[in-house]
Chains A and B, each alone.
Chain A
């Protein structure tokens, strides 16, 4: 049985990219699909997006060693795969990644579980070569682009924004470390989009993105119903001192004293090789302020992706960094609203259920000029 047929939920297609063509697997062969993209919380390092798909293997087609398979010999590491959800004849790619492993279950109910990683997995393996001297004082976008070049990433599958100029470097680090430096320098995000585009967005981007979904327990118009809401008081995440490590032993330290006086000094160091001290100072001010005050927020939203109706286009287009809102009526009759940024998302799609989890962070109102 296929996951869904496009009536109560979008139809799901798992497609392999073979010979420059996307070819769908047999829909009824897909038993379960799990997708994990982005961050579980906003202050951890980037992680590769992972998808694991369980195929019914009665046909033997998904056994990579089966020379009689219709897919033979393409089911090998590096095979590009995407998962498309189609609603009202419009396909939305919700994941794209590369085959990393296949586990073949030869039991009475033969299955094959394939695990895929998105481009971050490949970029993380690449190393930026050591330079003989300091070179490349360049913008964050240019540096990330150069790292992608080192990783052999497609020049057309990238969308990079970041104008802050970085210090020259002798490199000699992994490409992902140097990308994270650029991300820190612009207080932005770097991720592989659901359609496989390497994306760098600066802080300012979050102020211009639309609110993609509203979750409500009160039946608001054009809202989805959440099934679970994990709320965090936020004290744990207080940061009131930011040390911007600009590289070459240059640092800028900013301390937000009201917070320090109330909650004690909580310091966090940022590896951000910004060329300009002024820009470094602005970044330090921002990083020491934006989490200085504890704020209750929803860090996780669990909901079913069945029967979303007209909201499907908005749901399927959700991307890391998009805004979502949660309206909640408490038992003591208080109306609360959390405005959030999607940091990561999980999908678990089976033949009878489609569960989604959004990992979120609060939208603080602070911005910087760098």
Chain B
């Protein structure tokens, strides 16, 4: 609202009072001629003649020759006032027209009539061929024949050149008597369509409502694997115990390959729990893990307290794998494998065979065998925890046989330069239970042997490990033989 003081308006409605003179004149001109005639009583022409529109002859005293009168209740018949009376102004053309109209009417009367009514026409005259449409009987058509309306006239096939089908609004069309072409399926609005009216193999999946086909509509044994989405069948759809010979994959916990390999991270077999890397009951187990565990291909491991044993003639065969046990390893049959080691005893009723080392911190038994002198390699040397056998000496195994002294690098006299030493073994090397633990003992130094008489030095892992008495003894014997000959010569023998 503006800041300035506001004017209060009190409107006064203007209404018609004695102070006003109001007149309404000359109403609006109607749009039609009839309206014009009904509205205008008289028109004064420029000539001074007056044109009257009324039902009776004007009697105005001011009538004068030339005035015109339209007789409004006689078809606007025109009259001319001749000075004394009203005279029709119809001219000969109008009379001719009336005559022609009469003739036309006569002709028309002679034509056949067409009646459209609910009852049979009874007021004649009727002419042969008149037609009656019975309007309360679907416009059934009757023809006036031989003095009566007779029977209904059927429409022949050629009566209708073009009949629009939408004129048929009720009743029934017998389809067996008509041929329908270009039938639009959209016009089938009720009833059902039998399956034999559908072309074979013509219904596609887009015509079916999703999820409406039930299993009883599918023939037995007809669904192939290609119709099943990958990864969509869950085990609740299988009968228990019926799955054979196929790959089973259950994530990372349980898998069976097509080749039959079973891997599992959980579960039990015969009371043994399947673990990620082991199989056992908590006390006894087989594992594919590191030391302290075992597997068929690598280790059989038993913890502290219980021996690994096979009874009833059974074997422990590691197939070049390793066996490692904290206590005893025993088999009523054989023990074989790659490296066999035990903190306790290794016992086999028959043989102990290893392609690598057999290590026992205690006893190594083959109690059912006896020690013999004629066995090849009948010597067992236990050195640094190893059980070894020396090479054989039969000529069968040898070639390039010659006299030792003929070979310069094997000249036994070199042994004369070999220092004979005395020493003690380091405390961390020799067992405290050894009778010579800490005592000075005679011997050679392997490195010095290697320097003086290399062939007698044994290497292990690229380093000099020991000296080999089998390489030194022949040289010593050769030196003794030379001394013996020289002594005999000196004695004159």
Instruction: Mark the stretch among B15-23, B130-138, B233-241, B326-334 that contacts chain A.
Output: B15-23
Q: Which of chain A's residues have a CB closer than 8 A to the CB of B11? A: 204, 207, 365-367
Residues 197-217 of B at the A interface (beta carbon under 8 Å): none
Contact A339 B22 (CB under 8 A): no
Contact B19 A251 (CB under 8 A): no
Contact A211 B12 (CB under 8 A): no
Identify the closest chain A residue to B23 (Cβ): A253
Given contacts A134-B31, A256-B20, contact A285 B15 (CB under 8 A): yes
Chain A CB within 8 A of B75 CB: no
Instruction: Mark the stretch among B1-9, B179-187, B302-310, B360-368 that contacts chain A.
Output: B1-9
With A and B bound together, what is the CA distance between A284 and B14 in angstroms? Answer: 10
With A and B bound together, what is the CA distance between A317 and B1 in angstroms? Answer: 11
With A and B bound together, what is the CA distance between A282 and B16 in angstroms? Answer: 8
Question: What is the CB-to-nearest-CB distance from B35 to chain A, in angstroms, rounded to a whole number?
Answer: 12
With A and B bound together, what is the CA distance between A214 and B7 in angstroms? Answer: 10
Question: What is the CB-to-nearest-CB distance from A37 to chain B, in angstroms, rounded to a whole number?
Answer: 19
Contact B14 A282 (CB under 8 A): yes
When A and B form their complex, what is the total count of cross-chain residue pairs whose Cβ atoms lie within 8 Å? 107
Instruction: Mark the stretch among A51-59, A83-91, A92-100, A286-294 that contacts chain B.
Output: A286-294
Q: Which residues of B contact A (CB under 8 A)?
A: 1-7, 9-16, 19-29, 31
Contact B2 A363 (CB under 8 A): no
Identify the closest chain B residue to A325 (Cβ): B7
Contact B22 A210 (CB under 8 A): no
Q: Which of chain B's residues have a CB closer than 8 A to the CB of A155? A: none
Chain B CB within 8 A of A331 CB: no
Given contacts A211-B2, A222-B3, contact A254 B20 (CB under 8 A): yes
30 residue pairs A–B, Cβ–Cβ below 8 Å: A207-B11, A210-B1, A211-B7, A220-B5, A222-B4, A248-B29, A249-B26, A249-B29, A250-B27, A250-B28, A251-B25, A255-B20, A255-B21, A256-B19, A257-B19, A257-B20, A280-B24, A281-B22, A281-B24, A285-B16, A290-B14, A310-B3, A311-B3, A314-B3, A325-B4, A363-B9, A366-B12, A367-B14, A368-B14, A369-B13
For A289, give its contact among B10, B14, B23, B26 (CB under 8 Å): B14
Identify the closest chain B residue to A216 (Cβ): B4
Identify the closest chain B residue to A223 (Cβ): B4
Q: How large is the interface on A (under 10, 10 to 19, 20 to 34, 35 or more residues)?
A: 35 or more
Identify the closest chain B residue to A241 (Cβ): B21
With A and B bound together, what is the CA distance between A223 and B25 in angstroms? Answer: 50
Q: Which of chain B's residues have a CB closer than 8 A to the CB of A282? A: 14
Question: What is the CB-to-nearest-CB distance from A279 to chain B, in angstroms, rounded to a whole number?
Answer: 12
Interface flags for A123-142 (1: CB within 8 Å of B; 0: not) read 00000000000100000000
The CB with the most chain A CB atoms within 10 A, among B14, B16, B21, is that of: B14
Q: Which of chain A's residues have a CB closer than 8 A to the CB of B14? A: 282, 285-286, 289-290, 366-368
With A and B bound together, what is the CA distance between A253 and B21 in angstroms? Answer: 8
Q: Which of chain A's residues have a CB closer than 8 A to the CB of B4? A: 211-214, 222-223, 311, 314, 325
Q: Which of chain A's residues have a CB closer than 8 A to the CB of B2? A: 210-213, 314, 317
Residues 193-207 of A at the B interface (beta carbon under 8 Å): 204, 206-207
